[in-house]
Structure formats: structure tokens, C-alpha cells
Chains A and B, each alone.
Chain A
Amino acid sequence: MKRVLLVGVALIVAACSTSSATTAPAATQAPGASTAASAGSVDLSKITIAYSGYSTSNTYWNILGKAAAAEATAKGVKFVDVTATTNDSGIQLQAVNSELSQKPSAIIIGSVDNRVWGDTIAKAKAAGIPILAVDTGIDDPYISALIQTDNEGAGNQIGALICTNTSGKGTALVLGGTVGAQSGDARKKGVEDKIKACGMKDDGQYGNWDSATDVSIATAAIASTPDLTAIFVPHSDGAAAVAKAVSDKGLSSKIGVYGFDGSAAELTAILNGTETASIHQDNVKMGQTIVDDAITILTGGTVDKTVLIPPVLITKANAATFQ
């Protein structure tokens, strides 16, 4: 009986060591750099890509996660989604660290807070597991690849449109997400750079990615800023909510509302004329590309460190094409 057990344990250990030898990239070499392995010699079915997005309750991230999962299935690699239900950076960190202990071949992170990953990256580096970032950058040289919308560029597009629509007159309320969140800050900065350049007054605030807070700030700004001509909200839920609040006050023709992500509610608002414009992020392409990049790295290929997917401005003229 003992012998049978010993043989069993030996077989399991052998299987595990074979698996890790096949899937993990060579030693602690910089991920993405050429390794000895080649695409032809790697069994894709033994690759496991772990993914942690922003939250399961966010529509934009759901689409991105599903696109990534579908791409992984199409390519024949295993895909493990460890996205938490809430956008809590602590919970996301725990989920990724737990998955890290399972030794996946690569980890893709859509970060809630890009500043919390130092220890995780050190562990991943020690284990030779590449980390890729999607949508939100993580400031560490170990990150093998980043795919994201050019958030600042998108903000610039919105800012330029605000300047055109207002002829550079009045005050713009420019909302950010949470302070320090890379994508929200980049969007806010992009808008602010343009509106300041065209001579508008900038009223910058942070709505913590919460639509009720966005609405409260926006309505207070409407009451206290007589020359308010534009409101920018950096996320879809908040933009649609603020557009409705402005419309309820009968101010849609005076105050333009500009959003981000272009969700169904936003598209309806744009077509109704209660929201002026939004930004379409190609989250499907992001999900597919980041999985492709992970596979390329794991099979010894190289990828671009940063890929900025061009944003598309949504206005009344083209909103119907996104529905």
C-alpha cells in the first residue's frame, strides 16, 4: 500500500514539474524578451493565463473580460478569471496573490489601483511569471505589456470639442475618478490641458467613480457657477446620470455633458441630445490583444511594451453605429 502511495506521489510530482517546465518562461529573464522556447515547441493547452479585471459588476470590464476569455479559448489556452465583484483594490490584490500561488503561466491585470502591486510583482518576478496590464498602466519595468486606450489623448479630444462647442467661454467642471487612479487622472488631465489652453476656467473635482457623488457635485456646481458651460465625467455610469440631472433642470442646451466609455445609457442620451459626446474604447480589441500578447511572450516572442488603442469620439452623428 505504501509503495502504491509513493508511486502515486512520485507521478504527481513528476507531472507538476513537467507542467511548470513547459509553461513558465525561462528563469527571471525580462518577460517578452526572446527565450529558448518557440511557438512550435510549446503545448498551448498547458498554458494558463490568469486574469483579474476591475470588477465583475462593471459593464465595460465585463465585455473586456469576455473578449479575453473567448480569445484564450480560441487559441486553446486555459483562462482563469479571478476578477472580484467589487472595485476594491485590496480584494483584487488578494485574488491575484492567491492565483499567483497556483503558478499560472502569465497574469493579466486590469488594475483598480495601479500603486499596490510592488510585492506581487516581486513574487511574480521571482517565479518567472510575466505580468501584463490592460486598460490601466502599472508603473514597473517588469510589466511585459500594456494595452490601453490613449486616455490622455481621449481627454484631449473631449477637451477640444468642449472648446469648439463653447467657443472657449465659461467654466468647465472636470471630474476625475479616485485620486491617483491612472486612467481617470489621464482623462482629467487630457480635458484640462485643452480647456485651459483655449481660455476656459477649470473647476476640477473627483467623484470617486460613483454616479451619485458625480450628480451631487454637478448639481452643486450648477447652482454655484452661473457660467458653467460643460461637465466632463470620466466614466459611463456617472456621465449618463449627470446628463439626466442636467436634462431634468432643463439645462441641456446650455451645459454640455461629456462622458467616457459610451455605454448603452450614454448612447441613448447622446441620441436624445441630453449628452453631447463620449469616448468609445475598443474593449473587445483590448481583451483579445492582451491575451495574444501573453501567448506571444510565453511562446518566446516579443511584444510592444505599450500599445495605445486610439479612442473614437462618439457624437450624435455617429452614436447609432455603436448601439
Chain B
Amino acid sequence: MQRQLREIAGPLMGLVLIWVVILALAPIARDWEAFDNVLENATGSGLFIMCCGMTIALIGNCLDLSVGSIYALVSVVVGQLLVAHVPFPLAIAIALGAGAICGIINGTIVVVTGIPTLIATLGTQMAFRGVADMWGAGVDMEQFGKSFDWFGTGLPGPLFCSVIAFGILWFILSKTRFGFQTYAQGGNEEVARLAGIPVKRNIVLIYMICGIMAGLASIVYTARVDFAYVDRGQGMELLAIAGVVIGGTSMFGGIGGVGKTVLGVMIYESIFAGLIYLHYDAFWQQVATGVVLIVAVWMDFYQRRASASRRTGVINDSKRSLWSRLRLAC
């Protein structure tokens, strides 16, 4: 417990600091509605759910750039099914299945061809969006009914879906053999393979979970706005990666957790909303998020070097304080 708290101390302090600044400078944000708005946007846009999928992907060292296109494709699938009067639970199940299939395709390509994950998922990013366009461009898909809309309306529906996504991911990562193996192969794939971990099977499973989560995120947002549209999710993969990395999950695999992702997404959404509460232009949100992202990756990189030197017993630069390193550099 103490170790876990130590691990999330950085992002947690960051989040608290952001809110201290917002509350000090923007009295309007002292209302519950302001915080409720941050929660609503984090869950209702589907970003948090997508980040849950991206968390396991990054821990397992399986970068997925296709999640934005899966988001668009699933929106079209669920929209087409609902306008065809397919009962909404079945439509949701099929749409999640479509997300899972996309993930399996990603995993299979990576495992069978050995293509780097970045290139493989960049390719499927284009292909999935093309399929979404083929099925959904120019098609009117709206008015899905109150039962379906509940999943995206206000805070309860999106929060319910987000908690389910969080619970599933937390259980997988902390309570299953597959979760343990994901950390192991993310840390060092070759060692994991030599230790008898079924790395290839796990890669397919990781991408499948990531695809399902992108699909669920899309369903929540489609329900939130009550219409489906093909032109969605563009650039969302980068937001998802940013949210996960800001929370403290490593870009380099093997380290992270879905609890950290909660903090990462909240930091991202708090910066976004906070700057609007302070009446700054939206551009500043991009600048601030970019800076926070760089700091988060730098801290991850710094910690890794420090722990590597501890293991080898070598005293190097990373052991010294930042101040003494600066003095040495001068």
C-alpha cells in the first residue's frame, strides 16, 4: 500500500496543485458543478475508458495508434444497428465485438509479421477509418432512444461504464496470471519469452482488450450526443497516450497501472477545464498538456535510469541531485 501511494505521489500532487491554482484564481470553480463538469467530460467523451485500454497496451509494450479509428468504426456499427432497430443490448454487444475484432487484427499482424507495433497500428488506423467511411459516410444515424442514451447522459451512465472498465482492467492487471505476464513481457519481452510466457498469445489479447475499450468509449460518446458520425476520434489515440503517460504509466513498458491512469486523465481534463474557467484560449490547454506530458516522460526516463544504476551499483549522473548535475554541467 505504501509503495503504491509512493508511486502515485507525483501525479497526485500534480493534480492537487492544479486544483489549488484553479480554486485560487477562479472563484467560479469552487462550485461542485465545476468539478462535476471535469468528471463528465473525462467519462462522457470516452477518454477515460479509452485510456484504460491504452494502459494495458503500454504496460505490455503494445503501442496502439488505431484506437481513434476503432472509435469511429464502432460508432458507425452501433449507429447502423440501432437505426435498423436492433435491440440496444445486442447492438452494444455486436459493436464491442467489432472493437474486439479490430484488436485481434492488430495483434495478429504484429505477431505474425513481426512489424513494429507503431507501423502495424498506423496501417490499421488508416484501414479501420476507411472501413468506417465505407459504411457510414453520409448516412443519417441519430435518435437512438432513452435506454441507449442513458449510457452517455450526464454523469451516472458514463461513470458506470468507466467504473466497469476500471474494475475489469484493475482485476486483470493485479489479480490474474495474464496481468502479471503483461508486466513481465512489457519490461523485457525476450526474458519473458525465455521464461515460458506465451508472449504472442498475450499480445493478441492485449490488443483485443484495447480494441474493446476503444469500442466501449465510442458507445458512451455516441450515447452522449445521440447520433453516430464517421468523422470522430481523430487524434484521440494521442490524447489517450498522453492521459496514460501523464498518470505515470511508462511509455517503455512494464510499469504502470489503471489507478495512475485515473489521475492522468483527471490532470488532462482539469487543465482543459481550468484554463477555460480562467478564460484562457483553448490553445493554452494544448501548450500546458504538452509541457506536462514532457515532464511526465522525463520523470519516467529519469526514474528508470536511477533504478538501473541502483541495480548495477554504478553511481552515475542520475544518482546526483538535479542541482548538482546543473552545477557540474556549468
Question: Which A residues form the contact surface with B (CB < 8 A)?
Answer: 55-59, 62-63, 85-87, 179, 203-208, 210-213, 215-217, 219-226, 237, 240-241, 244-245, 248-249, 263-265, 268
Contact = CB atoms under 8 A, between A and B. Distances in A.
A219 B137 CA distance: 28
B37 A205 contact: no
Contacts of B190: none
A57 B31 contact: no
Contact of B231 (A57, A213, A224, A268): A57
Nearest to B138: A62
B260 interface: no
Contact of B276 (A59, A217, A265): A217
A217 B283 CA distance: 12
Contact of B41 (A56, A215, A265): A215
B87 to A, nearest CB: 22
Given A85-B126, A205-B276, A219-B40, 17 more contacts: A57-B129, A57-B132, A59-B138, A63-B138, A205-B282, A213-B282, A217-B276, A220-B37, A220-B41, A220-B276, A223-B28, A223-B37, A224-B279, A226-B28, A241-B224, A241-B227, A248-B153
B72, B137, B225 interface centre (most CB from chain A within 10 Å):
B225
Contacts of A211: 225, 229, 232
Interface string B228-241: 01111011100000
Interface in B46-72: 72
A215 B273 CA distance: 11
Nearest to A206: B282
A57 B282 contact: no
Contact of B282 (A55, A207, A237, A244): A207
A56 B137 CA distance: 7
B154 interface: yes
Nearest to A238: B225
Interface residues of B, number: 47
Given A206-B282, A206-B283, A219-B40, A240 B33 contact: no
Q: Is the interface of B mostly helix, strand, loop or mixed?
A: helix
B272 interface: yes
Interface in B83-108: none
A117 to B, nearest CB: 22
Interface of B: 26, 28-29, 31, 33-34, 36-37, 40-41, 44-45, 72, 126, 129-130, 132-133, 136-138, 140, 142-143, 153-154, 221, 224-227, 229-232, 234-236, 269, 272-273, 276-277, 279, 281-283
A216 B41 contact: yes
A244 B153 CA distance: 9
29 contacts: A57-B129, A57-B137, A57-B231, A59-B137, A63-B138, A85-B129, A203-B279, A205-B282, A206-B282, A207-B282, A215-B41, A215-B45, A216-B269, A216-B272, A216-B273, A217-B282, A219-B37, A220-B41, A220-B272, A223-B29, A223-B277, A225-B28, A226-B28, A237-B231, A240-B227, A244-B224, A264-B140, A264-B142, A265-B140
The 9 closest A-B pairs by CB, nearest first: A220-B276, A241-B225, A62-B138, A264-B140, A57-B230, A224-B277, A223-B37, A265-B227, A57-B231
B234 to A, nearest CB: 6
Contact of A55 (B26, B28, B44, B231): B231
B232 A212 contact: yes
A219 B40 CA distance: 9
A237 to B, nearest CB: 5
A95 to B, nearest CB: 14
Contacts of B229: 59, 211, 237
Nearest to B221: A212
A249 B225 CA distance: 13
A63 B139 CA distance: 11
Contacts of B231: 55, 57-58, 87, 237
A203, A211, A223 interface centre (most CB from chain B within 10 Å):
A223
Contacts of B221: 212
Contact of B234 (A86, A224, A225, A249): A86
Contacts of B29: 223-224
Contacts of A217: 276, 282
